[in-house]
Structure 1
Amino acid sequence: MKHQIQFILLFIFSANSLLAQTSSNPEKRIDSLFSKYNANTSGVAVGIVQDGKIIFEKGYGSANLEYNIPITPKTVFNVGSVSKQFTTFSIFLLEKQGKISLDDDIRKYIPELPVYEKTITIRHLCSHTSGLKDQWSLLTLAGWRMDDVITSEQVLKLVTKQKELNFAPGSQFKYSNTGFTLLTEIVKRVSGKSFSTFVKENIFDPLGMENSLIYDDNEKIVKNRAYSYGNENGIYSKRNLNSSSVGPTNVYTTVEDLSKWTANFENPKIGDVAFIKHFNERSSLDNGDPAILAVSDGETIYHAKGQFMRNYKGINVYNHTGSDAGFKSYLGRFQDNKLSIILLSNDEDFVAYKAGMNIAEFYLADKFKKREKVTETQQKAEEKPKPTPTANLKQYEGKFENVELSSIFTTKIIDGKLTMTHNRLSDAVLTEVDKDKFTGAITFGVEVNFQRNKKGEITGLSITNFGATNVKFSKIK
């Protein structure tokens, strides 16, 4: 019995000791966080940078499930929207060289764009305040699928046909990938080089980012690259990435290379301290108000040139996530603490921001301030009565065309439900939410509003999704 008690006490002591080591050892906590990944799963590459040097790097899971190739810190990933900071940095380099001004009219460089009532400037493109409808939203409504081959040239051609904006330039903040495609076109036309060449010569090469590239050709061979996967009920399937549209996405890089990128913000090899400070400044609307993404947990999230900035528990952090065709990424710079966190994943379900901030807690818990409880006045929303289903759904049937998108949607009753069809997209069942207003899903969630003339006849409809407001379709039949 005595030996049993000694064994139990020894076991408890060992377990508590191991737990203490794990809780005080950030690296072991990272191992625990990603313990679900193995040779038979997709996974994530992790890099932690302190004072400009990597203090932890590791891969979890497989870069290629067909050949069970492991993820390492040298594995190349598409970083999705983390690409945007490289695009804006390129623009700022051109400004530093005196070749452009952020307040230039974008039509000075891309004259084929429509003349809008108010001028769109380069600054508007950099700060998501241009009012331009999002390219992925437009492509979807034009009948494109996200696995189609999509080039920057095709996006530009589509954008030049858009005569209406979401809002007046400089008056609001609304995330728009379109602006970053146009920024790469400006870089190309001003520098006389392709965007990929400009970034290689002015960013990648000077920083020694040897395994980084701009993926502007969907047939390009990329050594050591990861492939992305989805997982449904334990069964993996590949995600297709055929887009070669650059600017908003399609920087391919590694954890090791991104560590060199983050180090440049502390000890600049490209630019200088004043340049970095200028780049990190918060974006603003034309009236001087800050460009705000959201307010979360009582903390305001500001936009700052291809990245977002917030004061998180008393510490300033610049970060951005990325998501493209099953690839997920997080890049966070806790600049005052000289700490950067890099996460690159080929797991479609990876929640990059949450994982990044969890890891920040591992390293900065003793420096974070305890949040004060945010109290908000809770007002019970007035419940609207549910609309009585329209007896005559047939009145909404018809064909509707948008000439700018070269796209036609048909609405018809299928199995008693009003359904929206397109010759290249999946059918979307529409649910009535108000008079002449319906919701559904055309790749992304949409709101569909039918328009009537003075006689009460339906003459058209407008579609709003996450990045495009009131895209108008005229009834043609």
Structure 2
Amino acid sequence: MNDMHQNRSLPFLFALLISLSAFPAFAQQISYDHVDSKDVHAIFMDYDETTGGCVIGIADHGELIFSNGYGMANLEYGIPLESDSRLMIASISKQFAAAAMLMMEQEGVLDLDENLQTYIPEIPDFDEPITARQLIHHTSGLRDLFSLLHLKDLGLDPTTTTEDALELIRNQQRLNFRPNTNHVYSNSGYVLMSVLTENLTGMTLREYTDKHFFKPLGMNATHFHDDLEMIVPKRTDSYRPTDNGPGRFYRDNIDRVGARGLFTTIEDFALWDANFIDNRTNLDQFTERMTEKGVHNNGRSHSYAAGLRIGTYRGLETVGHGGNYMGFRSSYMRFPEYELGIMVFCNMSDINPAAHARQLADLYLMEFFEETFSEFAGRYRNEGFAREYDLLIEDGDLYLKKSSRDKERLIWQNGDLFSAGGWTLEFTREDESITGFTVETSRTGKITFNRL
């Protein structure tokens, strides 16, 4: 294990302006000296030599400052998970397929707003044409491939072929909605990206991404797994719980990649994360293009960019994605304001990597959260109930102290709004200063507590 803790359209232009204004021009510097590797290890203590587990990485301004593996890559042979273990990262693969679409547009071989039938003649005649841009942003209306497989009682096992999957996409007669009027996650569009790449470049998606992204970045342990007989060094198996303990899960059967199918390591992925700071790929304006939000026909943007979700966590802007496919579960979460990247790649179907990523964010950004929540800390009283509550900050979190032994963590929602169990707390201000809060439960109206 490796422990390195020292270390042509108006919507298009509109979306670009949004993406450029979404993130600060200069990232803030912050020290992570307060983070003890023991605290990181404690988050993953449940994963050992009897279980699958996770490989994690923390990148600070493009430098991998911590990486480690917890649990096993292969339970049969007793091989532990390590920083160079190769895992299939499920839907996090989508950002690489989306990057390929943007690269083909840059090369002039793909018009993102052209009727998709121009490039894939097998696409059905829908009432309105769909486009590659809509595939990227999940706004085409195509029905989801994996849901269709389930409805047709076709499993994700060796009896289901690539042709079975493509036939389901080709046979769709109707869309879920008019193109670019809604956003519904669909793996079908990302599977079609591999077909687009071959039809327009004569290269597989694997070859194309290797040429324009992986080789320039030195991501030598990363590839789209479109050769089902290929030997992958340091490959990780995936598992699921059974009555007899962990059972093997992932099977190679569908070689159409794009929606999933990327094998990589934490060490390689850290190079991808660094590219959002210093672009070394062939795609110009990499960060701006990758974080460009989709825009509906009505001019309203949504949170999905190029295989990446743009969001917030505890008041900070985030960029990332999750993945879940046959026991491989993954989470990528980066904070542009601090250029902090958090990667959690797991190989057990009952692990929640997104929850672990948030735990790591809470740990590494503790000082920021403490400073953010400091204005809320203090004592508050309701005279009618003759009741006082203390709000405390502990380890970067805000707590409502109900008694000497009972306290509840406040979960930030937005602005001055928090939740705690079944309670909703909203702070009140006067001249920007906190003057109190209102608390509301499912069976009460708002009750006011004033700050002492």
Matched residues in 2 for 1:25 and 1:367: separation?
13
Query: Aligned partner of 1:373: which letter?
Result: L
For the pair 1:185 / 2:195, whether they are aligned, the reply is yes
Deviations 1:392-426 (A, max 9, x none): xxxxxxxxxxxxxxxxxxxxxxxxxxxxxxxxxxx
Give the partner amino acid of 2:71: G
Task: Render the CA deviation track for 1:193-233: whole Å, top value 9, x for unaligned.
Answer: 11111111111111111111111133322111110111245
Identity %: 32
User: TM-score, length-normalised on structure 1?
Assistant: 0.70
Q: Secondary structure at the match of 2:140?
A: coil
Secondary structure (helix, strand or coil) at the match of 1:48 reads strand
Q: Secondary structure at the match of 1:256?
A: helix
Q: Give me the whole-angstrom Cα distance separating, in 2, the residues matched to 1:208 and 1:323.
A: 26
Partner of 1:357: 358
Amino acid at match of 1:337: Y
Q: Distance in 2 between matches of 1:38 and 1:257?
A: 24
Q: Which amino acid aligns with 1:255?
A: I
Count of residues in Structure 1 that have an aligned counterpart in Structure 2: 349
List gaps (5 residues or longer) in structure 1.
Answer: 1-21, 292-301, 381-477
- Which residue, out of 137, 143, 146, partners 1:133? 143
Change over 3 Å in CA distance of 1:150–1:95 after alignment to 2? farther
Q: Does 1:317 align with 2:318?
A: yes
| Alpha-carbon contact 1:129-1:171 (below 8 Å) kept | yes
Structure 1 pair 318/138, CA: closer, same or farther in 2 (3 Å)? same
1:115 is aligned with what amino acid? Answer: D
Rounded to whole Å, the distance in 2 between the matches of 1:278 and 1:334 is 17
Question: In 2, are the aligned partners of 1:150 and 1:245 still within 8 Å (CA)?
Answer: no
Q: Counterpart in 1 of 2:65?
A: 55
Assess if the C-alpha contact under 8 Å between 1:46 and 1:344 holds in 2: yes
CA positional deviation for 1:140: 1.7
Cα RMSD, aligned residues only: 2.1
The one-letter code matched in structure 1 to 2:308 is: Q
1:4-153 superposed matches below 5 A: 24-148=34-158, 150-153=160-163
Q: How does 1:414-453 map to 2 (within 5 A)?
A: none
Question: Are 2:204 and 1:160 aligned?
Answer: no
Offset at residue 149 of structure 1 (A): 5.0
Alignment gaps of 5+ in structure 2? 1-31, 374-411, 419-423, 426-439, 444-452
In the other structure, the counterpart of 1:373 is: 417
Aligned to 2:205: 195
1:432 counterpart residue number: none
Deviation track 1:136-163 (CA, whole Å, cap 9, x = no partner) reads: 1111222211223545443222211111
* TM score, norm. by length of structure 2: 0.73
- Which residue of structure 2 aligns with residue 342 of structure 1? 343
Q: Which residue of 1 aligns with 2:260?
A: 249
Distance 1:150 1:281 in 2: 35
Residue 27 of structure 1: CA displacement?
Answer: 2.3
> In the aligned structure 2, how far is the partner of 1:40 from the partner of 1:379?
43
In the TM superposition, what whole-angstrom CA distance separates every residue of 1:421-462 from its partner, at most 9, and x where no partner exists?
Answer: xxxxxxxxxxxxxxxxxxxxxxxxxxxxxxxxxxxxxxxxxx
Distance 2:245 2:251 in 1: 19
> In the TM superposition, what whole-angstrom CA distance separates every residue of 1:63-102 from its partner, at most 9, and x where no partner exists?
0000100110000001000000000001011111122122
- Partner secondary structure for residue 184 of structure 2: coil
Deviations 1:327-375, CA, capped at 9 Å, x for gaps: 1111111122111011111111110111101101111122233432255
Of 305-314 and 140-149, the range deviating more from structure 2 = 140-149
Which one has a bigger Cα radius of gyration? Answer: 1
From 166, 171, 186, the counterpart of 1:176? 186
Q: Which amino acid aligns with 1:96?
A: Q
The answer to whether the 8 Å contact 2:54/2:344 transfers is yes
When residues 364 and 238 of structure 1 are mapped into structure 2, their CA distance, relative to the original with a 3 A threshold, is same
Matched AA of 2:332: L
Partner Cα separation in structure 2 for residue 286 and residue 77 of structure 1: 38
Instruction: Pick closer, same or farther for the CA change 1:212–1:151 going to 2, 3 Å.
Output: farther
Alignment match, 1:288: 299
1:224 to 207, 214, 234: 234
